[in-house]
A and B are shown apart, each in its own frame.
Chain A
Amino acid sequence: MTNFLSIHTIRFVILLLLQVLLLSHVNFMGYINPYPYILFILLFPIKNNRMLFILLSFLLGLFIDMFLDSGGIHAAASVTIAFIRPAALKFSFGALYDHQAIKFNQVDFGQRFIYISILTLIHHFILFSLEIFNFSKIILVLQNTLFSSIFTILLSILITIIFSGTNKK
């Protein structure tokens, strides 16, 4: 239990600092930033208490908002993907999820890609809708969502590949 706690606490802090100090200042092509802090939400163990999970996701988003002065947009997006994660799991892993036996570094690449993509796209869409907050600029929202999602998905998959090799659990 302490091992589990420490791993997820460290992951929480590292992803938070990485996001606010480095990745929010990438500004590729002027405005495209990746948001791979959602890996904390994507890779959180499935068997755990769902209320705790949603609360932690909210806290992570709120901390990001505090650092980036963005009101509550990251908190709203994070808490939403935390809530709909079971549906995304069921959709992308199917039978495996019913037995609650998913090990994220053992499932095959295609399923993992679909899982990460679905949640990233939803997260980014909510994020940019709330940030821009103007229905007449829907094109800007969709454009930001698309480009940032590509960046985030690539980075998330790279991170999962790099770190799944080292800690064999």
Chain B
Amino acid sequence: MQQIVNFILRNKTFLLFLLLLFISVMLTIQSHSYHRSRFINSANFLSGGIFNASNNISDYFGLREQNKLLQEENNQLKSILFNVENNLNSPYVDSLNFAKNYIFTPAQVIRNSYSSTNNILLLNRGKKDSIKQDFGVISSKGIIGIIEKTNANYATVLSILNTTSSISAKLKKTNHFGSIKWDGLLPNKIQLSEIPKIAPVATGDTIVTSGRSAIFPKNIPIGIVSSFNLDTAENYYEIEVTLFNDMTNIEHVYIIENRDVEQIENLLENND
């Protein structure tokens, strides 16, 4: 017993180091598994408050650009409103035409990241605005990501530029579906896989969400095909998609709540 106590006392620094290293590696591993509770996250009073304060200042620098984006979107919505029969070919999000079971909440991005391999965004909406985990996030041009963690006033978003996220997508013209993942290299390109070999893919084709998950409605634009080739087994296409969104300067986004999500999940659970 004496020897054990002596051993601990002698190596207390090393043991403390091992303990702390173990804790931090555990936190890292946890953050790499999709949607497991990220224990240390920025949706809290301290970091959320600081980022909000700094965003209040830095907001002004992008006002002109963001105004232009909002104006473009207004323009788009107006033209849809006045030409309802023409809106089927629009590459933009049409929030008016979705079924009523989707609720949209506007939000602002107060922290954006796109340079690491696991990017997380912070929004200024939280539980007070009835935002919960697994709500979709889109901008006027296309999808952004999925809500991961929320607290009273803030929410973190698992960006599509995150190697752990995966979203179901399809070719707009033929409805062949696959899933998009990011390889962690360029912030304007993501990869679409699992599109069967038989699908007629061409560069310039539009990729949209498939509506197969309960998170995003159908036909939210993602990007266009910039290049494609068959995978090593030659059964599926590996497609490089250029995003419509510029993920480096997003500011105004919309959070989508699907009211039927509980019903859908119940149904799926009963089937299994």
State the A residues within 8 Å of B (CB): 17, 20-21, 24, 27, 30-33, 50-51, 54-55, 58, 61-62, 65-73, 75-76, 79-80, 82-83, 130-133, 137, 140
Contact = CB atoms under 8 A, between A and B. Distances in A.
Identify the interface centre among B27, B38, B47, B116: most chain A CB within 10 Å of its CB. B116
A132 to B, nearest CB: 5
B117 A67 contact: no
A58 B16 CA distance: 10
A131 B42 contact: no
Contacts of A83: 13-14, 17
Contacts of B116: 31, 68, 70, 131
A132 B24 CA distance: 15
B117 A70 contact: no
A139 to B, nearest CB: 12
27 contacts: A17-B50, A31-B115, A31-B116, A33-B115, A54-B13, A54-B17, A55-B16, A62-B40, A65-B24, A65-B40, A66-B42, A66-B44, A68-B42, A69-B38, A69-B156, A71-B27, A71-B29, A72-B40, A73-B24, A75-B24, A76-B21, A76-B24, A76-B28, A79-B17, A79-B24, A83-B17, A131-B117
A133 B32 contact: yes
B24 A69 contact: no
A133 B28 contact: yes
User: Chain B contact residues: over half helix, strand or loop, or mixed?
Assistant: helix
Given A50-B13, A79-B17, A80-B21, A72 B27 contact: yes
A72 B23 contact: yes
B118 interface: yes
Given A31-B115, A55-B16, A82-B17, 4 more contacts: A30-B115, A71-B30, A79-B20, A79-B21
Q: What band does the interface of chain B fall in when counting residues whose beta carbon is under 8 Å from A? A: 35 or more
Contacts of B23: 58, 72, 75
B151 interface: no
A67 B42 CA distance: 5
B7 to A, nearest CB: 16
B226 interface: no
A25 B9 CA distance: 43
Given A54-B17, A55-B16, A55-B20, A71 B38 contact: yes
Contact of B184 (A21, A32, A137): A137
A75 B27 contact: yes
Contacts of A33: 115
Interface string B107-132: 00000011111101010000000000
A62 B30 CA distance: 14
B21 A27 contact: no
Given A54-B13, A79-B20, A70 B115 contact: no
Contacts of A82: 17
